Structure 1
Amino acid sequence: MAEPAESLAGLVEAALLAADPAQLAVTEPAGSWTYGELDGASAELAAVLAAAPGAEPGAEPGAEPAADGDGPAPVAVLLPRGAAAVAAMLACVRAGRPFLPLPPDTSSAALPDLLGVRDLVTAGPPPAWWTGPASRVHRVRREGLPTARPAALPAARAVAGDGTGYFLATSGTTGAPKVVRGSAAGLAHYLRWQREELALGPGDVLSNSADPWFDFSFKETLAAVVSGATVAVLTDRELLGGAHLLSWAAEHRPTMVCLLPSRLAALLGAAEQAPADLLDAAFGRLRLLLVSGEVFPTPLLARWRAVCPHATVLNLYGPTESTVIKLRHTVPPGATVDTPTVPVGTPIPGTEALLDAEEPAELTLVSDQLALGYASGGQGAATRFGTHPDGRPLLHTGDLARRTPDGAIEIVGRSDHVVKRHGVKVSLPDLEAQARTCPSVGSAVALLLPGERERIVLCCTPYGAAADGPALRRLLREHLLGRVPAAAMPDAVRVLPDLPLDPRGKVDRRALAALFVPRPEPVAAHG
Structure 2
Amino acid sequence: MRSPATYAAGSIDVPLRRLIESGLCGTDPMHRAVVQGDAVLTYGELLTKSRELAAKLTSGTGPVLIRKPRGVESLTEMVGCILAERPFLPVPPDSMSDPATLPDTPEGCGYLLTTSGTSGEPKVVVGSRSGLARYLQWQQAELALAPSDVVSNTADPWFDFSFKETLGALVAGATIAVTPAAALTGGTTLLTWLAEHQPTMVCLLPSMLARLVTAMDRADPTTVRSATERLRRLLVSGEPFPQPLLRRWRTHAPYPVVINLYGPTESTVIKLRHVLPAGAEVHTAIVPVGTPIPGTAVELVPVDDLDDAQELCIVSEDLALGYLTPVTGSTRFERDAAGRRRLRTGDLASLAPDGSVVVEGRLDHVVKRRGVKVSLPAIEAAAVAVPAVDAAAAVVQQGGRIVLYCGVSAGADALSLRAIRMALLDTLAPAQLPDKILLVTRLPLDRRAKVDRAALRNGTTGNS
Same fold (TM over 0.5): yes
Instruction: Label 1:240 to 1:166 Cα distance change in 2 as closer, same or farther (>3 A).
Output: same
Amino acid in structure 1 at the alignment position of 2:22: A
Give the corresponding residue for 1:275. Answer: 220
Instruction: Label 1:487 to 1:27 Cα distance change in 2 as closer, same or farther (>3 A).
Output: same
Q: How does 1:83-98 map to 2 (within 5 A)?
A: 83-98=72-87
1:113 deviates by 4.2
Give the corresponding residue for 1:367. Answer: 316
Q: What stretches of structure 2 of length at least 5 have no aligned partner?
A: 1-11
Count of residues in correspondence between the two structures: 446
SS of residue in 2 equivalent to 1:79: coil
Give the corresponding residue for 2:41. Answer: 33
Compare relative contact order (CA 8 Å, sep 6+) and give the higher one, 1 or 2: 2
Aligned residues of 1:178 and 1:380 also touching (Cα < 8 A): no
1:5 deviates by 6.8
Aligned residues of 1:323 and 1:370 also touching (Cα < 8 A): yes
Distance 2:251 2:374 in 1: 34
Distance 2:373 2:21 in 1: 53
1:7 deviates by 1.1
Give the corresponding residue for 1:510. Answer: 454
1:309 deviates by 1.2
Q: How does 1:107-256 map to 2 (within 5 A)?
A: 108-109=96-97, 112-116=99-103, 162-256=107-201
Distance 2:373 2:230 in 1: 47
1:80-132 C-alpha deviation (Å, 9 max, x unpaired): 211111111111111110000011111x24x5344259xxxxxxxxxxxxxxx
Q: How does 1:459-474 map to 2 (within 5 A)?
A: 459-462=405-408, 468-474=412-418
Distance 1:227 1:328 in 2: 20
1:433-482 C-alpha deviation (Å, 9 max, x unpaired): 333344443322111111xx43211111237xx98333322332233236
Give the corresponding residue for 1:448. Answer: 396
Instruction: Label 1:442 to 1:161 Cα distance change in 2 as closer, same or farther (>3 A).
Output: closer
SS of residue in 2 equivalent to 1:355: strand
Q: Which of 489, 492, 511 does residue 433 from structure 2 map onto? A: 489
Give the corresponding residue for 1:147. Answer: none
Distance 2:52 2:267 in 1: 32
Amino acid in structure 1 at the alignment position of 2:99: P
1:516 deviates by 5.6
The question of 1:431 aligning with 2:417 is answered no
Give the corresponding residue for 1:415. Answer: 363
Amino acid in structure 2 at the alignment position of 1:338: H
Aligned residues of 2:243 and 2:381 also touching (Cα < 8 A): no
SS of residue in 1 equivalent to 2:322: coil
Aligned residues of 1:74 and 1:116 also touching (Cα < 8 A): no
Distance 1:87 1:96 in 2: 14
Rg larger in structure: 1
The question of 1:102 aligning with 2:91 is answered yes
1:6-28 C-alpha deviation (Å, 9 max, x unpaired): 11111112212211111100001
Aligned residues of 2:214 and 2:390 also touching (Cα < 8 A): no
Q: Which of 240, 246, 262 does residue 207 from structure 2 map onto? A: 262
1:294 deviates by 0.3
Instruction: Label 1:248 to 1:438 Cα distance change in 2 as closer, same or farther (>3 A).
Output: closer
Give the corresponding residue for 1:335. Answer: 280
Aligned residues of 1:445 and 1:459 also touching (Cα < 8 A): yes
1:380 deviates by 7.5
Instruction: Label 1:212 to 1:96 Cα distance change in 2 as closer, same or farther (>3 A).
Output: same
Distance 1:433 1:276 in 2: 26
Instruction: Label 1:380 to 1:231 Cα distance change in 2 as closer, same or farther (>3 A).
Output: farther
1:350-382 C-alpha deviation (Å, 9 max, x unpaired): 10011377954101100010001011122686x
Aligned residues of 1:74 and 1:98 also touching (Cα < 8 A): yes
Distance 2:376 2:222 in 1: 41
Aligned residues of 2:240 and 2:377 also touching (Cα < 8 A): no
Q: Which moved more, 1:469-478 or 1:172-181?
A: 469-478
Amino acid in structure 1 at the alignment position of 2:117: G
Larger % of helix: which? 2
Q: Which of 52, 55, 80 does residue 44 from structure 1 map onto? A: 52
CA RMSD of aligned residues (A): 2.3
Amino acid in structure 2 at the alignment position of 1:505: A
Q: Which of 313, 325, 333 does residue 385 from structure 1 map onto? A: 333
Instruction: Label 1:226 to 1:398 Cα distance change in 2 as closer, same or farther (>3 A).
Output: same
1:312 deviates by 0.5
The question of 1:22 aligning with 2:30 is answered yes
Distance 2:359 2:373 in 1: 19
Distance 1:273 1:486 in 2: 35
Instruction: Label 1:331 to 1:10 Cα distance change in 2 as closer, same or farther (>3 A).
Output: same
SS of residue in 1 equivalent to 2:327: coil
SS of residue in 2 equivalent to 1:226: helix
SS of residue in 2 equivalent to 1:290: strand
The question of 1:477 aligning with 2:426 is answered no
Amino acid in structure 2 at the alignment position of 1:460: C
Distance 1:192 1:516 in 2: 43
Amino acid in structure 2 at the alignment position of 1:428: L
Aligned residues of 1:47 and 1:95 also touching (Cα < 8 A): yes
SS of residue in 1 equivalent to 2:93: coil
